[in-house]
Structure 1
Amino acid sequence: MDFESANPTVVKSIKQRDFLNTWLRLYARDHVPPAVAEFQPTRIEEDMPDLVFYTVDAAQSPPRLTIQSDGTRMASAYGHTGKGRLLDEYLGPRLAPIVMPVYYECIRRRLPAYTIAHIDDIYGRIVAYERLLLPFADGGDITHLIASLKTISEDGGFEIKNLMRGNDALPVPKLRTIIDRDLFHRAPGRIPSGDLLEFG
C-alpha cells in the first residue's frame, strides 16, 4: 500500500487540524512522539464521539491494537461497540486488509497518518470518511494511537448507522498520506522570525 508524503495542510477538518497542531507542539521538543498523557487539546470533550483510543503492542509483528474506547459515531458506523477488542478482529476479514495497513504505517513511521475514503450509505449517498491517526510513545516503542474519524457528505444528510458494513461495496481510498513534512506548529497570523525582512 502506497502512502503520499504530506504536510499538515492536507487535513481538512478544523478540529482535526487542532488535534494535529497539539501533537506537533509536543513533537517539536525532541522530534519524537509524545506520551499520550500529554495530549490535552482544548475542548476535547466536545469531540469525544469522533475519537477512538487504542493501546499498541509493538512487540508483536504486526503490532496488535486494542480498542480502549469507542466513539459513539464509530460504533454506529460499524454497527456495534468494539471496546476491549483487537482492532483487526473488530474490523473483520473484509475491512481489515484495507484499514490495518494505515495503522501499521503510522506505527512504523512514528508519524501522523491521514486518509480519506469514500463509501456509500444505505441510500447511495457518497460519504467521505476522513481519518487522522496520531501516534504516542513513552520514550520507546509506540504505545498508543488516537484516531479522529470524521464523516462528511456533499449531499448534506446521510445515514451513519452501519455505514461501514451496510452494503457490499468496500470503502474506496481517495487519499493515503503520512504527514512527514513541515513538522512544526506555527501559530496562525504570526510570521516566523526567519522570514522577517530587514531594511537598512
Structure 2
Amino acid sequence: MSFESSDASVVKSIRQRDLLNCWLRLYTSVQKPPQLAAYRPDRLEDERADLVYYIVDHASTPTRFIIDSNGTRMASAYGSTGKGRYLDDYLGPILGPVVLPAYHTCIARQLPTYTISMIDDVNGRVVAYERLLLPFCDSGNDVTHILASLKTISEDGGFEIRNLMRGHHSVPKPVLSVVLDRNLTHRMPGRGAASELIEIG
C-alpha cells in the first residue's frame, strides 16, 4: 500500500482536525513528535470512545504495536476488546494487511497518517472508516506511542457498528491513504479570524 503526500485539509472530521491541530502546536516547538504526556487537546474526554492508544514495540522485527486502551466504538466494530494484545494478532490475517501499513508509515515518517476505507455493515450499508494516527516520542528518537482517532460515517444514515470490521461480508477497501507532510499549519490561540499561521514543511 502506497501513501501519498497531503496536507491537513484532507481530514474530514472537525474533531480529528482539532486533535491534529493540538499535535501540530507541540510539534512546532520541538520539530519532532511530542511527548504523549504533553498532549492535552480540548474536550479529550468527549473523544474517548473513538480513541485508541498504542505502545510501539521496537524490540520486535518488524515493529509491533501493543493496544494500550480500547475505545468503545473500536471494541464494538471489531467485536471484542483488544487491550494488552498486539495489534497484528488482534486484526488477524484478513484485516492486518489493510490496516497495519498506516501504523508502519506513521512511525517510519514520524508524522500523522490518515486513511479512509469503505466497508459494508451487516445490512449492506456502506460505511466510511476514517483513521487518523498521531505519533509521539517519549524518549530517544523513535516513536514510542501512537494515538488513533477512529471515525465511522455512512451516507445512508444509520448503520450497525457491532462487528463492522469482523463480519467479513466485505474486506475494507482503502480509498485514501496519505501521510500529512505538506503545508501543515495550526492557528495560534486567541487571535480570531486574523490568527497567525505557523507552517511546517
In structure 2, how many angstroms separate the alpha carbons of the residues matched to 1:79 and 1:193? Answer: 42
Counterpart of 1:185 in 2: which secondary structure? Answer: strand
Q: 1:83 to 1:193 in 2, by over 3 A?
A: closer
**Alignment check: 8 A CA contact 2:185 2:197 kept:** no
Tell me the equivalent position of 2:134. Answer: 134
Q: For 1:53-73, what per-residue CA distance to the aligned partner results, in whole angstroms no more than 9, with x for missing partners? A: 000012433211000100000
Normalising by structure 2, we get a TM-score of: 0.93
Tell me the equivalent position of 2:149. Answer: 148
CA RMSD of aligned residues (A): 1.5
Q: Quick check: which has more Rg, 1 or 2?
A: 1
Segments of 5+ residues of structure 2 without an aligned counterpart are none
Counterpart of 2:135 in 1: which secondary structure? Answer: strand
Tell me the equivalent position of 1:22. Answer: 22
Q: 1:191 to 1:52 in 2, by over 3 A?
A: closer
**Alignment check: 8 A CA contact 1:128 1:151 kept:** yes
Matches within 5 A, 1:149-168: 149-168=150-169
In structure 2, how many angstroms separate the alpha carbons of the residues matched to 1:51 and 1:62? Answer: 24
Counterpart of 1:177 in 2: which secondary structure? Answer: strand
What is the deviation of 1:14? 0.5
Q: Which amino acid aligns with 1:35?
A: Q
Tell me the equivalent position of 1:198. Answer: none
**Alignment check: 8 A CA contact 2:186 2:197 kept:** no
Counterpart of 2:183 in 1: which secondary structure? Answer: coil
Q: Which amino acid aligns with 2:151?
A: K
**Alignment check: 8 A CA contact 1:62 1:104 kept:** no
The answer on 1:190 being equivalent to 2:194 is yes
What is the deviation of 1:140? 1.7
Normalising by structure 1, we get a TM-score of: 0.93
**Alignment check: 8 A CA contact 2:68 2:83 kept:** yes
Q: Which amino acid aligns with 1:6?
A: S
Q: Which amino acid aligns with 1:190?
A: A
**Alignment check: 8 A CA contact 1:28 1:183 kept:** no
In structure 2, how many angstroms separate the alpha carbons of the residues matched to 1:120 and 1:93? Answer: 19
**Alignment check: 8 A CA contact 2:103 2:133 kept:** yes
